Amino acid sequence: MSTVVGGQAFALGLVDEVAMDVVPVVFGSGKRYFGSVDAQYLLEDPHTVIQGDRVLHLLYRVRR
Position 8 in a domain: no
Position 31 in a domain: no
Sign of dihedral through CA atoms 46, 42, 12, 6?
negative
Position 34 in a domain: no
Position 62 in a domain: yes
**pLDDT score of 55 more than 70:** yes
Position 3 in a domain: no
- Which residues are bridge partners to 42 per DSSP? 63
In eight-state DSSP terms, residue 9 is H
Position 9 in a domain: no
- Which residues are bridge partners to 56 per DSSP? 22, 51
What mean pLDDT do residues 9-25 have?
87
* Number of domains present in the structure of the chain: 1
Q: What domain range includes position 50?
A: 16-25+39-64
Position 45 in a domain: yes
**How far is the C-alpha of 60 from the C-alpha of 19, rounded, in Å?**
6
What mean pLDDT do residues 3-24 have?
85
